[in-house]
Amino acid sequence: MYTAYIIVAVAILFLLFGIFHVLREYERAVVFTLGRFWKVKGPGLILIIPLIQQYVRVQLRTIVMDIPPQDVISRDNVSVRVNAVVYFRVIDAECAVIQIEDYYTAVNQLAQTTLRSVLGQHELDQMLAERNKLNTDIQKILDEHTDAWGIKIGMVEIKQIDLNESMIRAIAQQAEAERGRRAKVIHADGEFQASQKLAEAAKVLASQPESMQLRYLQTLSNISEEKNSTIIFPIPIDLLTTFLKK
């Protein structure tokens, strides 16, 4: 007799545990009644009828997914390894359960193929210099494809672009050559500007002979300040002409 009561009590407790479920603030329950979708419940305390209803628990928090390194061949035929991280979350629990079998795996596979496809359309210099633009392009493509699954792609970030040793040396040599080219251009530009200033100064001195004489005397003064054992003073003809006129 007592055994029967115990069995009934255990059965009641089992049913109670099967009926009452508690969902956290970031969780939702996609409820099915006899295999057909009924509604999305939660958060808080929900009731599930055992044997008649089943539910799938879905998290709405942002998920951080690490994309494994992918071998990519750029448009200029350079082989690189690229890894990235994708931030996404479920915004429609019903679609995330009904429209796709495993949305996490689906997003991961789609992100890998999209990463290779987008980066393969760009040259290596663009990959290194325009990373923010590439992140935005990948994010938009993923967001368009996952919208039907009730998934929102919040952000995509390319973490690292790895090059082989030979390519690193080639880039270093290219950068060194570019720095040398810029240095030569700056030096040539400085020489050109200096020659322009000298030409302008020559025109001023030619138009004012007295200025030329003053410049000559200033130069002699500068020479006399140096510790030289022998100093030769060249006397310009124009200076003698000035004194002869007097």
DSSP the chain: -HHHHHHHHHHHHHHHHHHEEEE-TTEEEEEEETTEEEEEE-SEEEE--TTTEEEEEEE-S-EEEEEEEEEEE-TTS-EEEEEEEEEEEES-HHHHHHT-S-HHHHHHHHHHHHHHHHHTTS-HHHHHH-HHHHHHHHHHHHHHHHGGGTEEEEEEEEEEEE--HHHHHHHHHHHHHHHHHHHHHHHHHHHHHHHHHHHHHHHHHHH-HHHHHHHHHHHHHHHHHS--S-------HHHHHHHHH-
State which residues of the chain have pLDDT below 50. Answer: 243
* pLDDT of amino acid 18: 72
- Per-residue confidence (pLDDT) for residue 68, from 0 to 100: 92
Q: What is the pLDDT of residue 56?
A: 95
Question: Sheet containing 53-59: which strands, arranged edge to edge?
Answer: 36-41, 27-33, 53-59
Give residue limits of the domains in the chain.
2-59, 63-163, 169-245
| Sequence-distant (≥ 6) Cβ neighbours of residue 135 within 8 angstroms | 155, 156, 157, 158
Judge contact between 94 and 30, C-beta under 8 A. yes
Q: What is the pLDDT of residue 77?
A: 85
The confidence score (pLDDT) of residue 51 equals 83
Question: What is the predicted pLDDT for the residue at 232?
Answer: 59
What CATH class has 63-163? alpha beta
First to last CA, the chain: 150
Q: Looking at residue 213, what is its pLDDT? A: 59
Contact 148, 82 (CB under 8 A): no
Beta strands at 27-33 and 53-59: parallel, antiparallel or unpaired: antiparallel
pLDDT at 98: 95
Q: Which residue has the tokens 């001195």?
A: 205
Q: Are 83 and 160 in contact (CB under 8 A)?
A: yes
The pLDDT, as a whole number, for residue 202 is 67
Torsion (CA) 147, 151, 155, 159 in degrees, nearest 10: -110
Distance CA 192, CA 235 (A): 31
